[in-house]
A and B are shown apart, each in its own frame.
Chain A
């Protein structure tokens, strides 16, 4: 047995508590938070390499035998997600430091962000359903607090839909846990995987799968349960919004991949079909919402909805290649989406508003920022050779191979409309002329913010240009996720170690 899977949770948790002990923002605190998040990123990348070579690492907390205790399982998919969330948290924190001077920084933002990261990491690593519920509650509470931390009076009501729908979703998740326990007598993913295979065809299994779809569809922002997202995200402070935009809905997508790939048997064809159709509608309706908006943050928020549709579509297509495409798309999307929100934050600072009709002129004044935006916008729309192209290409290829013509057409339409709304931002904020007498506030702070965005853009370019390497990682993760017997075996192998004493 190996204690390593506990570290990505304990490190941010400990750092958050430590940051609470030193409540005053200071250079030392900033350096400490940056170092912790960078260390987390380095550890996650190292863990990914180790897990890919040696197979999943399993930690049984408290030394309980497998179906009885809580297990943490670090497999390739979980390690990929750990890398992405540490990277996003690191860059967003740096951006936050660059954005606000020390005295304007809210003392609780860093500890809450670290708590959020700890909760998200627990949800990636957990090997049982109830711990998944707990981890969702931990990171949701942290996200509620971050959401209302610095909200001005005219915006506080925008948090209400987010909080209420998640309260409803949490209760539903609790009920789902209860039903799973009633059905299988266990909450452990690997045991559920074993027992559910024997229950194929039982309608109770279908109902359970539908409940999973509903609960994690709410978290991921699938149609028709996405309305909370474009209301609440634009009201957040930029670094928080970028982290939420990158990670939170993707936790829902991750759980969909995990639950439908590993936990539930693959013979739930009609639920997968339903997921694919819901995803198709999500893509188109999300992007139509984006086209209708005239603020950068609102456009980008609707794009999250639309892009989640692509990932859910790949999960719904349900094949090894489709899962690899979904995982690749998650890798691409988290980086690009966070970078776009950060660019939006810089524009907001420079212009004082992110309304597109009234301002412009950034192309002449800030060419680096413009190029960064252009790269990410074209990547989101799916222009080769940027990372978004490969994600969409793989999904559409798989859709064509399965003969799902309507869904393929829907995704192409959504892709074109994405390009249209990205062009709208480009023309509005960057290309058009800045009206006379309205100054652009280009400060050293905005240059530092641009540099932070540059980090993410470099990663995103790397994903696009090294797509082969990243796709082989995604393919490995997809194979591992869909190989349910291997998952069960590697989790049960903990018992052998426990019986034979405590040697690793």
Chain B
């Protein structure tokens, strides 16, 4: 009934993800967000219920309804994985762009690099 092991796994993944997200290095932040989206997906998956299943809503001719896990969260998770992947791709490119633009791949480096706030640059084209 209670999926204690899944809960522990989500907690470990989530804690590791938060730790990495709060890190100063871009690469660790990226890995942190990847882990975080996986932790989220696992939460959705756990809503399928017990892996041993319960009676499915479908009936076969004359036989007992078969045992199955709830399929809907698995459909949801597919969507979430695709979205998570595209967003991770975007984040990778953004972090790379910031690295190219400001020549640093850490957040303290960004603060050192930014003496002006840059808001007047490129106004007049």
**Chains A and B come from one and the same complex:** yes
A residues sitting closer than 8 Å to B (CB atoms) are 100, 104, 130, 133-134, 137, 140-141, 144-145, 148, 152-160, 163-164, 167-168, 170-172, 174-175, 177-179, 181-182, 234-235, 295, 297-298, 348-349, 352-355, 441
- Bound state CA distance, A235 and B118, in angstroms? 8
CB closest residue in chain A, given B41: A174
Q: Are A353 and B123 in contact (CB under 8 A)?
A: yes
Count of interface residues, chain B, beta-carbon cutoff 8 Å: 40
CB closest residue in chain B, given A351: B123
Q: A134-B79, A298-B119, A355-B120 are in contact. List 15 more A-B contacts (CB 8 A).
A: A130-B79, A137-B83, A152-B118, A153-B121, A154-B102, A156-B102, A157-B113, A160-B95, A170-B83, A171-B40, A174-B40, A175-B40, A175-B44, A178-B46, A181-B47
- A170 cross-chain contacts in B, Cβ below 8 A: 83, 87
| Interface membership of B63, Cβ < 8 A | no
* Given A164-B21, A167-B33, A153-B87 contact (CB < 8 Å): no
CB closest residue in chain A, given B120: A353
CB closest residue in chain A, given B97: A156
Q: Which parts of B41-94 form the interface with A (CB within 8 Å)?
A: 41, 43-44, 46-47, 72-73, 76, 79-80, 83, 86-87, 90-91, 94
- Bound state CA distance, A371 and B83, in angstroms? 45
* Given A148-B97, A163-B90, A167-B91, A155-B43 contact (CB < 8 Å): no
| Interface membership of B110, Cβ < 8 A | yes
* Given A157-B98, A164-B21, A164-B29, A171-B39 contact (CB < 8 Å): yes
Can you identify 17 A-B contacts, CB atoms within 8 angstroms?
A130-B79, A137-B87, A154-B116, A157-B98, A163-B90, A167-B87, A171-B36, A171-B37, A172-B40, A174-B44, A177-B76, A178-B47, A178-B73, A178-B76, A181-B76, A297-B119, A353-B120
Q: Are B101 and A157 in contact (CB under 8 A)?
A: yes
- Bound state CA distance, A88 and B79, in angstroms? 30
- Bound state CA distance, A158 and B111, in angstroms? 11
| Interface membership of B114, Cβ < 8 A | yes
CB closest residue in chain B, given A145: B90
- Bound state CA distance, A159 and B102, in angstroms? 13
CB closest residue in chain B, given A297: B119
- Bound state CA distance, A36 and B37, in angstroms? 36
Would you give the shortest CB distance from A271 to chain B, in whole angstroms?
22
CB closest residue in chain A, given B104: A157
B residues sitting closer than 8 Å to A (CB atoms) are 21, 29, 33, 36-37, 39-41, 43-44, 46-47, 72-73, 76, 79-80, 83, 86-87, 90-91, 94-95, 97-98, 101-102, 110, 113-114, 116, 118-125
Q: Are A152 and B122 in contact (CB under 8 A)?
A: yes
- Bound state CA distance, A352 and B87, in angstroms? 35
- A441 cross-chain contacts in B, Cβ below 8 A: 124
* Given A104-B125, A148-B94, A234-B76 contact (CB < 8 Å): no
Q: Are A141 and B87 in contact (CB under 8 A)?
A: yes
Nearest first, the 6 A-B pairs at minimum CB distance are: A154-B118, A152-B122, A153-B101, A171-B40, A178-B44, A155-B118
Q: Are A154 and B79 in contact (CB under 8 A)?
A: no
Q: Are B83 and A352 in contact (CB under 8 A)?
A: no
Would you give the shortest CB distance from A438 to chain B, in whole angstroms?
13
Q: Are B118 and A178 in contact (CB under 8 A)?
A: no
- A155 cross-chain contacts in B, Cβ below 8 A: 118-119, 121-122
Q: Are B119 and A174 in contact (CB under 8 A)?
A: no
- Bound state CA distance, A134 and B43, in angstroms? 17
Would you give the shortest CB distance from B40 to chain A, in whole angstroms?
4
Would you give the shortest CB distance from A450 to chain B, in whole angstroms?
18
CB closest residue in chain A, given B44: A178
- Bound state CA distance, A96 and B98, in angstroms? 26
